[in-house]
C-alpha cells in the first residue's frame, strides 16, 4: 500500500516538475521570440481569443499558462513510466529516492537537449531555413526558428530523459539486488 502511495507521489512530482520546467522554458523562449507565442502557441492553446486572454494584462501570464499546458502531460507520462519501474524496488523509501533521482536525470537531459536545440536553431537553422510550417506574418524568422527548434529538442530531450531514467532505475535495482544477495 505504501509503495502505491509513493507511485502516485512520483506521478504528482513529475507533473509539477514538468510544469515548472515548461513555465521556465517558455519564459526564456518568449524573451527570444514573442512572435512564436503570439502567432502560434497562444493560438494552439486557445489563449489568443479566449476570455482568459482578454483579462490578462501581461502576455507573460499567457506564457505561464502555455508552459503548463504544453508540459504537464509529458510529466504525467514520465511519472507513470518511472513510477512503474520504481515499483520494482524492495521498499517504498528506496523506491521514492530512486524515482526522484531518475526524474532529476530526465530533467537534466531535457535541459541539455533544449540548450543544444537552441544553439543549433540559432547557429544553423536560422540561417539555413526550415521546412516546417510557420505563419506568413513573422517579422523575425531567425528567432522564431530558434525557439521552435529549442522547443522540439526539449520534447525530444524529455523522451530521451525518460528512457535514461528507466535505464537508471533498472541498473540501480539490479545492483541493489545483487548486493543484497551477496550479504
Classify residue 20 by burial, with Cβ atoms within 10 Å: 0-12, 13-18, 19+.
middle
Grid cell 525530444 is found at 156
Contact of 40 with 151, CB cutoff 8 Å: no
- What does the pLDDT look like over 138-147, one tens digit per residue? 999 999 999 9
Query: Which run of H or of E encompasses 48?
Result: none
147: Cβ contacts below 8 Å, ≥ 6 apart: 29, 32, 33, 36, 121
The per-residue pLDDT string of the chain (183 residues; one tens digit each, 9 = 90 and over) reads 899 999 999 999 999 999 999 999 999 999 999 999 988 998 888 877 655 555 566 788 889 999 999 999 999 999 999 999 999 999 999 999 999 999 999 999 999 999 999 999 999 999 999 999 898 889 999 999 999 999 999 999 999 999 999 999 999 999 999 998 887
Nearest to 151 by CA among 66, 86, 81, 89: 66
Which residue range forms the structural domain that includes residue 85?
A: 2-182
Contact of 153 with 117, CB cutoff 8 Å: yes
- What does the pLDDT look like over 78-109, one tens digit per residue? 999 999 999 999 999 999 999 999 999 999 99
Number of folded domains in the chain? 1
Pairwise CA distance, residues 109 & 160, whole Å: 7
Pairwise CA distance, residues 173 & 85, whole Å: 9
Amino acid at each position: 500500500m505504501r509503495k502505491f502511495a509513493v507511485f502516485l507521489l512520483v506521478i504528482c512530482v513529475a507533473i509539477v516538475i514538468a510544469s515548472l520546467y515548461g513555465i521556465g522554458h517558455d519564459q526564456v523562449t518568449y524573451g527570444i521570440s514573442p512572435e512564436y507565442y503570439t502567432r502560434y502557441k497562444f493560438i494552439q492553446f486557445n489563449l489568443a481569443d479566449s476570455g482568459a486572454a482578454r483579462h490578462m494584462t501581461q502576455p507573460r501570464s499567457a506564457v505561464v499558462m502555455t508552459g503548463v499546458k504544453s508540459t504537464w502531460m509529458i510529466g504525467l507520462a514520465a511519472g507513470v513510466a518511472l513510477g512503474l519501474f520504481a515499483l520494482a524496488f524492495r521498499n517504498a523509501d528506496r523506491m521514492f529516492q530512486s524515482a526522484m533521482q531518475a526524474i532529476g536525470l530526465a530533467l537534466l537531459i531535457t535541459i541539455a537537449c533544449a540548450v543544444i536545440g537552441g544553439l543549433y536553431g540559432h547557429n544553423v537553422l536560422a540561417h539555413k531555413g526550415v521546412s516546417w510550417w510557420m505563419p506568413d506574418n513573422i517579422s523575425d524568422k531567425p528567432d522564431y526558428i530558434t525557439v521552435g527548434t529549442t522547443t522540439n529538442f526539449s520534447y525530444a530531450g524529455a523522451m530521451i530523459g525518460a528512457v535514461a531514467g528507466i535505464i537508471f532505475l533498472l541498473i540501480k535495482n539490479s545492483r541493489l539486488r545483487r548486493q543484497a544477495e551477496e550479504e
